[in-house]
Amino acid sequence: MTDQPIQNCGKCGLCLSVCPVYQVLKQEQASPRARLQLIKAFEKNDLTASPLLKDLVSQCLMCGACKVACPSGINHYAKFMEMRRKMATAQPDPPVIRSLVYLLAKEYRLGMGVGLARFGQRLTPKFLADKYRIGNIPVRRFPKMNPIPFRRTVPGTIPAKGPRRGRVVYFVGCATQYLFDDTGQATVDILTCLGYEVVIPKGQTCCGIPMMFHGAGDRAALNMAANLHALADAVDTGSCDAVIVDCTTCGAALKDEYPALMDTLTRRPDPALSRRRDPSLSEKLDALPPGIHTRIAEKTRDILSFIHDHGQTLDMRPDLTSDKVIYHAPCHTRNSFNAAGTVTDLLTALPCFDYIPVPDSAACCGGGGTFFYEYPQIAAKMMAGKLTHARAAGARYWLTDCPVCRINLHGSLSDIDAMTVAHPVTLISKGLKQ
């Protein structure tokens, strides 16, 4: 079903049943259908931009559940994204958010910011790290920065181990690059053990979704162009079986947002997107191989689904002891890749896991990019039930394939919780017969 106009909203309320923010607040103004009506009024000039309107539009996790549930075929996600862009111009974000967008827009800036954060982590006294919080998360429970950015620790091309089955391109997101190098190394180990040559192109940068969430579509477009150029040669040169992501938010950018943004830039040119930040954007896009964004989108696969489909030959250690694990399904894994069931099938099948289902594994944790920072009280209510069920399960590991969810889950646990939050690939990698 193609995207339908807001006028097609029948106000049926199905979106209320899947919206995690509405489930907490139980207020009509927090519902997806209410946001659609606010956007319609704004477009008709019946409403003007205001701090309240911006807050109502921003009080959304951008999880995409309403889009999936809508019987009228309305793409809430795209309409909310566009409205955020308009609000960012009329009602700028606070300095902390603007600074984050500024850093993410250029890889060298992000690297410098991470370097300063790494230095700050080493110097921050324990009493301050215990006292101060980012949203609900104590500073001391934030992950340590990688000593060296992940892509600098691995070659650009990593050969398959054993007989070569194919070739994949690995898009390494910011979190793996700067925070969770264990995820990156495990992903490479698994893919090469499956018989795939792994190509990690130079020139990758932030996928752009965090910037788009905060209305900076112009800056996101530049990142999109950079990433498409970085991936183009690797995808079009020789065989490419898949473009692998270890984060389904990055995957949603490559699979869904890049084609949509390219359509906006080429068919319905918007001066704010194409000229305001960089006059050369049009030239950068024109220099891309025709249709590369479509080819990349079609080949984009999340690592866990790829393992599920190709992992029959995984050689696991015979002395392997399975660990009790529970799983939190990130929003983009569920709603963009429709892969939550595939992941739980994988956790059930592999001998390294003793998988324990929990009632709310598919419930949003409240991370949502910067949502846990901007709306900590709502995020805390979302997390409360998940913590109760997680603790009751008695698992050793709480697994998730989203880095923001990983930060939020780990940060919400206490020091006495005997549970480690990790990406599933780290346990799969440890169980391989190397």
Distance CA 80, CA 213 (A): 9
Q: Based on the structure, what is the number of domains in the chain?
A: 2
Ramachandran angles phi, psi of 158, nearest 5° = -120, 120
- Examine residue 140 and state whether it is found in any structural domain, yes or no: no
- Examine residue 385 and state whether it is found in any structural domain, yes or no: yes
Give the CATH number of the domain where residue 339 resides.
Answer: 3.40.50
Ramachandran angles phi, psi of 245, nearest 5° = -125, 145
- Which residue among 39, 58, 90 closes a domain? 90
- Residue among 375, 230, 383 nearest 292 (CA): 230
- Which residue among 27, 55, 90 closes a domain? 90
Distance CA 70, CA 62 (A): 15
- Examine residue 393 and state whether it is found in any structural domain, yes or no: yes
Distance CA 345, CA 355 (A): 10
Distance CA 52, CA 403 (A): 30
- Examine residue 149 and state whether it is found in any structural domain, yes or no: no
| Domain with 31 in it | 6-90
- Which residue among 60, 90, 120 closes a domain? 90
> How do the pLDDT tens digits run along the chain, 434 residues long?
457 889 889 899 999 999 999 999 999 999 999 999 999 999 999 999 999 999 999 999 999 999 999 999 999 988 998 899 899 888 889 999 999 999 999 999 999 999 999 999 888 888 888 888 899 899 999 999 999 999 999 999 999 998 999 999 999 999 999 999 999 999 999 999 999 999 999 999 999 999 999 999 888 999 999 999 999 989 988 789 999 999 999 999 999 999 988 887 776 555 555 444 456 788 888 888 999 999 999 999 999 999 999 987 788 888 888 999 999 999 999 999 999 999 999 999 999 999 999 999 999 999 999 999 999 999 999 999 999 999 999 999 999 999 999 999 999 999 899 999 999 999 999 999 76
- Examine residue 147 and state whether it is found in any structural domain, yes or no: no
CA-atom Rg of the chain in angstroms: 21
Tokens of 11: 């106000």
Question: For position 274, what pLDDT does the model report?
Answer: 46
- Examine residue 270 and state whether it is found in any structural domain, yes or no: no
Strand segments, DSSP code E, in 216-342 are: 242-245, 300-302, 323-327
SS3 content of the chain, % helix, strand, coil (to 5): 55, 10, 35
- Residue among 87, 84, 59, 64 nearest 76 (CA): 64
Distance CA 297, CA 255 (A): 4
| Long-range residue pairs from 150-156, CB within 8 A, at least 24 positions apart, any chain | 150/176, 150/177, 150/178, 150/181, 150/184, 150/185, 151/177, 151/184, 151/200, 151/202, 151/204, 153/181, 153/185, 154/184, 154/185, 154/188, 154/200, 155/200, 156/199, 156/200, 156/201, 156/202
- Examine residue 322 and state whether it is found in any structural domain, yes or no: yes
Which of helix, strand or coil describes residue 429?
A: helix
Q: Which pTM does this prediction carry?
A: 0.93
| DSSP secondary structure of 187-245 | HHHHHHHTTEEEE--TT----SHHHHHTT-HHHHHHHHHHHHHHHHHHHHSS---EEEE
Distance CA 300, CA 347 (A): 21
Which contiguous run of DSSP H or E holds residue 193?
Answer: helix 181-193
Distance CA 144, CA 184 (A): 15
Which of helix, strand or coil describes residue 364?
A: coil
Strand segments, DSSP code E, in 106-263 are: 133-134, 137-138, 157-158, 166-171, 196-199, 242-245
- Residue among 288, 291, 239 nearest 263 (CA): 291
- Examine residue 213 and state whether it is found in any structural domain, yes or no: no
Ramachandran angles phi, psi of 37, nearest 5° = -70, -35
Which of helix, strand or coil describes residue 38?
A: helix
Q: Are 62 and 53 in contact (CB under 8 A)?
A: no
Question: For position 239, what pLDDT does the model report?
Answer: 87
- Residue among 406, 362, 402 nearest 382 (CA): 362
